[in-house]
């Protein structure tokens, strides 16, 4: 049934006037137009008018018609479910009529409108859409064929899963063979659309495509050298995805595909080259990479290094010829949003490094953050996009991780040539390449570093800002080696030059130097103590120099410094340097300013490091944090009760404030008591612990644990309400929440002692479940083991009966932790439990022996308990059984047990 509808001339004139006015640059006019549009939405057939302008008013100019379609699209998106059925019917039929409009702009607008309706209404409620578009593909009229393909491509992009799941009508069974026919169409636009449509179904392994996989490949290979860059781009994209899903089908053709991709990675069209370059990133993740790529490395590596060179357009966009821009204020839109990482309580674990000593590092369950490495300072919005340079560098990085030293014979000659090249762009790309291979080729690079590091330190003074910036990044990738050498040789000169770059007159260099310095701080830790005053003078001077964006990175460098040197920062001279500028910023910023996030994070690290040195500053900081938490909770309540009138708050303000309060509690310890007593923090904490957002709960449990350690007298009255909430959060689905809840339970039990008894039933079973769960992250395992040990320490009779359920996992989790208070209390708990229920440990006694042997130097009284248990066990089983048992020990274990415990 075709539905007839005709507009009234007056209504049409009014809408055309509005559409014209909305193109005016004047914001007041635009606001008035917006209000009128909202009013007109109250009339059911307003959308018919918009449709009419888009498809029927051919005498109007195209931008006005297209705008009418885009306003209609927005209406469909927001009000689709409330539209009158006659209106939706009219819009649908007019869309199908107008798919082949002679104007490309109108065709594209109609395509967008069709997709919006299709994704809003589910394809099932527009059953005639796909058959109609499918028939149009065979039209002799090019515009109709191209318009239908454009619409289909958008539908495939937006509704791929729905199309694949529609087993009722099986549209894909018809569509995919149809698309495949068009790979050799005479129009490149249509060839490109056809491949684009099929590409949407590769990753989800659509059965309808898998049936035709061989035809798909054959047709792809036929258009592989198409003259149209869009077609080549889609061919490359398809091959990259097929690598992940149908490696078996690509294998017979792999050497031709590699040849093809080597060619395309050098394509004149940068878009094609970028798609092709993704192939190397994908291939590096495949187990077959070494076998299939090894013989091609000598051709691939030079291509990747060439791809790392800034293109002319990059340099223009990056203002690469502007050397001094430190006085130019930042554009607000160039500042990326930062994400706060909530506080996680972690054990300090010891990991052996290559030379047999141990490195101490707190493990955290944050994923490795190296993915950002190739946003190497190109932070302008124009260039923060992924480009060929970044993709080439990332590809070289992953290949270095696959081929290791085998890459160097090919790369070293290229580096020699590029690093000493006259053209700065080529030298710059060589320095980027040197940084890219740092992780994968480290052991092969060591012999070259005594020569390369001085060269890089020298390049920090290059006349080109972009060279100075990339050199900062590359040096940061080798900072681990620098720190391991005698200071005078490399660390001192590197630090001196990097600190100069922090004060560079170019903003991009300032940013790169600040980030590199933060990495160096993490590597060097307390090795930086002798140079603290020099470092602080520089960082504090940068406060007066930096524009908005780099200030945020400077906070990070100061926070990392505090984390790295800890209490060594607590000297009056350092405090007097550092605190005034931080507090000045703190006073200027308003409560709703997001710049508070990085500043609060920084202050949290500083407060923890300065300990009692932070006392003079703590009261206003504490008060403001409590008020930020309170304001956010009020806003949250208001929004929950009346979402129309009140906006939902940004809870990051509350999360960051809770974390800074944690930092204060940890740093000030008992001194925080007088602040807590005069505030409603415990009541606020009770609300935060029940917040629906996991990050809020994570930070509130961290604060609860820190307050338990610092001033338990204020936590104690709340325990009956708090502990059941902690018990409900022992859910390993939210790793960090679970981790902090576990840790807080352990801290509370140590303070509560025997009074923990009534709460053991609400936490013990979950903890045992977590410790036995496969693939639990290391941090959570360690915290769980420590908390179980602590519960056993204060209430051995309640925990010991189930000892056999966790003793083996407990021992293997804690053998890697270095000696500290937490490990001490946990092991005392284990010994208490063994004395209550010795039978519980018997089947797993070898694991207990191993865990006991992991201690470097236990306290004397703990050591005596270990000796008593070990010798008691030996006496009980008898000499002969003991010998049989101890013969299973690895030699190292026998040695440790005999030297430490004389057994």
In sequence order, the β-bridge partners of residue 348 are 362
Token duo for residue 399:
């290949």
The whole-number pLDDT of residue 361 equals 28
Burial of 456 (0-12, 13-18, 19+ CB in 10 A): buried
CA distance 118 to 100: 18
The whole-number pLDDT of residue 123 equals 75
Band of residue 372 on the pLDDT scale cut at 50, 70, 90: very low
Least confident of 173-177, 308-312, 353-357, 524-528: 353-357
The mean per-residue pLDDT over the stretch 475-482 comes to: 97
Per-residue 3-state assignment (H helix, E strand, C coil) for 461-495: CCCCHHHHHHHHHHHHHCHHHHHHCCCCCCHHHHH
CATH topology for 717-902? 1.25.10
For the cut 50, the answer to whether the pLDDT of residue 365 exceeds it is no
Band of residue 379 on the pLDDT scale cut at 50, 70, 90: very low
For the cut 50, the answer to whether the pLDDT of residue 850 exceeds it is yes
The whole-number pLDDT of residue 59 equals 84
The mean per-residue pLDDT over the stretch 525-538 comes to: 95
Burial of 368 (0-12, 13-18, 19+ CB in 10 A): exposed
Phi/psi at 411 (5° precision): -80, -35
How do residues 547-597 score in pLDDT, each as one tens digit? 999 999 999 999 999 999 999 999 999 999 999 999 999 999 999 898 899
For the cut 60, the answer to whether the pLDDT of residue 351 exceeds it is no
CB 642, CB 683: distance < 8 Å: no
Residue whose pair of structure tokens reads 């990339």 in the numeric block: 470
In sequence order, the β-bridge partners of residue 352 are 358
Rg of the chain (C-alpha set): 33
Token duo for residue 853:
């042997």
Helix (H) or strand (E) holding 362: strand 358-362
b/e burial code for range 483-522 (CB count within 10 A of at least 16 → b): bbeebeebbebbbebbbebbbbebbbbbbbbbbbbbbbbb
DSSP secondary-structure letter at 438? T
**How far is CA 345 from its chain centroid?**
19
pTM of the predicted protein model = 0.82
Neighbouring CB atoms inside 10 A of 416's CB total: 11
For the cut 50, the answer to whether the pLDDT of residue 378 exceeds it is no
Q: Any long-range contacts for 138-142 (C-beta under 8 Å, 24+ apart)?
A: 139/100, 141/100, 142/187
For the cut 80, the answer to whether the pLDDT of residue 353 exceeds it is no
The whole-number pLDDT of residue 541 equals 96
Band of residue 337 on the pLDDT scale cut at 50, 70, 90: low
Written as one string, the DSSP assignment of 850-890 is HHHHT-SS--HHHHHHHHHHHHHHHHHH-HHHHHHHHTTS-
The whole-number pLDDT of residue 338 equals 65
The whole-number pLDDT of residue 6 equals 84
Query: What are the residues whose beta carbons fall under 8 Å from the beta carbon of 796, sequence distance 6 or more?
Result: 829, 832, 833, 835, 836
CA distance 799 to 812: 19
For the cut 80, the answer to whether the pLDDT of residue 325 exceeds it is yes
SS3 127: coil
The whole-number pLDDT of residue 364 equals 31
How do residues 639-662 score in pLDDT, each as one tens digit? 999 988 899 999 999 999 999 999
The whole-number pLDDT of residue 837 equals 95
For the cut 80, the answer to whether the pLDDT of residue 157 exceeds it is yes
The whole-number pLDDT of residue 339 equals 65
How do residues 775-827 score in pLDDT, each as one tens digit? 889 999 999 999 999 999 999 999 999 999 999 999 999 988 888 999 999 99
Helix, strand, coil percent values for the chain (each to nearest 5): 75, 0, 25
Token duo for residue 40:
């007109």
Residue whose pair of structure tokens reads 């398809």 in the numeric block: 238
Query: What are the residues whose beta carbons fall under 8 Å from the beta carbon of 73, sequence distance 6 or more?
Result: 109, 112, 113, 116
For the cut 80, the answer to whether the pLDDT of residue 370 exceeds it is no
Q: Any long-range contacts for 528-535 (C-beta under 8 Å, 24+ apart)?
A: 528/495, 528/561, 528/564, 528/565, 529/565, 529/568, 531/492, 531/495, 532/565, 532/568, 532/569, 532/574, 533/573, 533/574, 533/577, 534/495, 534/499, 535/495, 535/499, 535/561
For the cut 90, the answer to whether the pLDDT of residue 224 exceeds it is yes
How do residues 260-307 score in pLDDT, each as one tens digit? 999 999 999 999 999 999 999 999 999 999 999 999 999 999 999 999
For the cut 80, the answer to whether the pLDDT of residue 336 exceeds it is no
CA distance 493 to 12: 74
CA distance 626 to 185: 67
Quote the mean pLDDT of the chain. 90
State what percent of residues in the chain have pLDDT above 90.
72
């Amino acid at each position: 049934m075709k539905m007839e509808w005709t507009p009234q001339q007056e209504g049409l004139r009014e809408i055309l006037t509005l559409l014209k006015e909305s193109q005016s640059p004047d914001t007041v006019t635009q606001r008035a137009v917006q209000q009128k549009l909202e009013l007109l939405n109250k009339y059911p057939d307003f959308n018919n008018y918009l449709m009419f302008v888009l498809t029927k008013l051919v005498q109007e100019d195209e931008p006005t018609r297209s705008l009418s379609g885009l306003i209609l699209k927005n209406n469909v998106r927001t009000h689709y479910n409330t539209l009158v059925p006659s209106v939706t019917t009219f819009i649908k039929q007019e869309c199908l009529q107008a798919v082949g409009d002679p104007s490309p702009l109108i065709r594209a607008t109609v395509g967008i409108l069709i997709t919006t309706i299709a994704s809003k209404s589910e394809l099932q409620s527009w059953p005639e859409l796909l058959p109609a578009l499918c028939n149009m593909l065979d039209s002799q009229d090019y515009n109709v064929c191209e318009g239908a393909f454009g619409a289909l491509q958008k539908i495939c992009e937006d509704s791929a899963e729905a199309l694949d799941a529609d087993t009722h009508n099986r549209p894909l069974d018809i569509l995919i063979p149809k698309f495949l026919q068009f790979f050799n169409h005479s129009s490149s636009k249509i060839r490109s659309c056809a491949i684009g449509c099929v590409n949407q179904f590769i990753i989800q392994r659509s059965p309808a495509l898998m049936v035709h996989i061989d035809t798909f490949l054959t047709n792809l290979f036929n258009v592989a050298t198409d003259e149209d860059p869009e077609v080549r781009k889609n061919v490359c994209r398809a091959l990259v995805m097929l690598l992940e899903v149908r490696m078996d089908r690509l294998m017979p053709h792999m050497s031709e595909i590699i040849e093809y991709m080597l060619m395309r990675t050098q394509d004149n069209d940068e878009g094609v080259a970028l798609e092709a370059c993704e192939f190397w990133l994908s291939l590096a993740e495949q187990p077959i990479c070494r076998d299939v790529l090894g013989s091609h490395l000598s051709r691939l590596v030079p291509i990747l290094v060439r791809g790392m060179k800034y293109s002319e357009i990059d340099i223009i966009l990056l203002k690469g010829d502007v050397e001094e821009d430190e006085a130019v204020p930042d554009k607000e839109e160039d500042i990326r949003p930062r994400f706060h990482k909530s506080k996680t309580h972690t054990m300090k674990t010891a990991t052996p490094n290559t030379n047999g000593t141990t490195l101490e590092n707190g493990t955290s369950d944050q994923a490795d953050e190296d993915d950002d490495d190739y946003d190497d300072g190109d932070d302008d919005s124009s260039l923060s996009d992924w480009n060929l340079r970044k993709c080439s560098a990332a590809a070289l990085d992953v290949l270095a991780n696959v081929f290791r030293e085998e890459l160097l014979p090919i790369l070293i000659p290229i580096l020699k040539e590029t690093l000493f090249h006259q053209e700065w762009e080529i030298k710059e790309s060589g320095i980027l390449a040197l940084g890219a291979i740092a992780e994968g080729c480290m052991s092969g690079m060591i012999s070259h570093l005594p020569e390369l590091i001085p060269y890089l330190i020298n390049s920090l003074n290059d006349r080109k800002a972009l060279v100075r910036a990339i050199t900062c990044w590359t040096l940061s990738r080798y900072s681990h080696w620098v720190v391991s050498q005698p200071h005078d040789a490399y660390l001192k000169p590197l630090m001196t030059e990097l600190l100069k770059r922090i004060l560079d007159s170019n903003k991009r260099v300032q940013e790169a130097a600040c980030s590199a310095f933060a990495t160096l701080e993490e590597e060097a830790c307390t090795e930086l103590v002798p140079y603290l005053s020099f470092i602080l003078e520089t960082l504090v001077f940068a406060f007066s120099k930096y524009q908005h964006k780099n200030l945020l990175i400077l906070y990070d460098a100061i926070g990392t410094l505090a984390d790295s040197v800890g209490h060594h920062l607590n000297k009056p001279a350092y405090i007097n340097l550092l605190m005034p500028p931080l507090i000045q910023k703190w006073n200027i910023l308003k409560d709703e300013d997001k710049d508070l996030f990085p500043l609060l994070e920084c202050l949290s690290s500083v407060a923890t490091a300065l300990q009692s040195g932070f006392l003079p500053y703590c009261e206003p900081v504490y008060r403001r944090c409590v008020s930020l938490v309170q304001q956010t909770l009020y806003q949250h309540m208001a929004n929950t009760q009346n979402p129309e009138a009140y906006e939902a708050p940004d809870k990051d303000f509350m999360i960051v404030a809770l974390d800074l309060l944690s930092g204060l509690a940890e740093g000030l310890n008992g001194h925080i008591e007088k602040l807590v007593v005069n505030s409603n923090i415990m009541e606020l904490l009770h609300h935060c612990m029940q917040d629906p957002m996991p990050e809020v709960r994570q930070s509130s449990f961290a604060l609860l644990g820190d307050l338990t350690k610092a001033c338990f007298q204020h936590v104690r009255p709340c325990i009956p309400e708090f502990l059941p909430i902690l018990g409900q959060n022992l859910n390993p689905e939210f790793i960090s929440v679970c981790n902090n809840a576990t840790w807080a339970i352990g801290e509370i039990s140590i303070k509560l002692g025997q009074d923990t008894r009534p709460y053991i039933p609400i936490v013990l079973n979950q903890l045992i479940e977590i410790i036995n769960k496969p693939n639990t992250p290391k941090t959570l395992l360690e915290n769980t083991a420590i908390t179980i040990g602590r519960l056993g320490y204060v209430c051995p009779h309640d925990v010991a009966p189930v000892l056999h359920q966790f003793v083996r996992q407990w021992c293997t989790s804690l053998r890697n932790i270095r000696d500290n208070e937490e490990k001490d209390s946990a092991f005392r708990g284990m010994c208490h439990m063994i004395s209550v229920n010795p039978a519980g440990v018997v089947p797993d006694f070898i694991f207990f022996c191993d865990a006991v042997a992991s201690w470097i130097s236990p306290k004397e009284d703990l050591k005596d308990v270990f000796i008593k248990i070990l010798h008691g066990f030996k006496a009980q089983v008898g000499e002969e059984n003991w010998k049989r048992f101890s013969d299973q020990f690895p030699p190292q274990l026998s040695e440790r047990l005999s030297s430490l415990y004389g057994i």
